[in-house]
Structure 1
Amino acid sequence: MARGNQRDLAREKNQKKQADAKKRLGASGQEGNAGLSMDNRMNRDADIMRIKQEKAAAKKAADDAANAAGAKKVAKVDPLKL
């Protein structure tokens, strides 16, 4: 019973060692990339970015249309001038 915190220190050391080993695997070792080739990962990521860009372009077009129509998102009202 004289081990003290030796077991806890060994556990932490092992967890750190396993995390470092996982980092060294690179992109192919990540859980989300399991079983995918580099070309498949690149195509998947490109599709995701394309969708993000389309959403951003649609939002920008909507904002530009609202600004062109003269509509304000928030109408400022001064209660003292009513």
Structure 2
Amino acid sequence: MTRGNQRDNDRAKALKKAGNTKNKNTQSGTEFARSKEDAAAIMREKQRKADEKKAAEAAAGKSKK
């Protein structure tokens, strides 16, 4: 267990470390909306590819039976 000065030093170190993290969004509203839409487009494309793969596997599975 830390005592005395060491405890204070650890608290100061933790506060400094927490203060260095970036907490705010620095993008403007339009930049944020655009980046959000870009991410959504990427996810839609990934989902479309996954659905196509699943359909192809299902079609291949039916033909084998």
TM-score (norm 1): 0.52
State the shift of 1:44 in Å.
Answer: 0.6
- For the residue of structure 2 that corresponds to 1:14, the secondary structure is helix
1:60 & 1:44 partners in 2: Cα distance?
24
- Structure 1 residue runs of 4 or more that deviate by more than 3 Å after TM superposition: none
5+ residue gaps in structure 2?
none
State the superposition RMSD in angstroms: 2.9
5+ residue gaps in structure 1?
72-82
State the shift of 1:45 in Å.
Answer: 1.5
Matches within 5 A, 1:1-82: 3-19=5-21, 22=23, 25=24, 28-29=25-26, 37-70=31-64
Q: Using CA pairs under 8 Å that are at least 6 residues apart, name the structure with larger relative contact order, 1 or 2.
A: 1
The structure where helix makes up a greater share of residues is 2
Query: Which residue of structure 2 lines up, in the alignment, with residue 78 of structure 1?
Result: none
State the shift of 1:17 in Å.
Answer: 4.2
TM-score (norm 2): 0.61
State the shift of 1:51 in Å.
Answer: 1.3
Aligned residues: 61
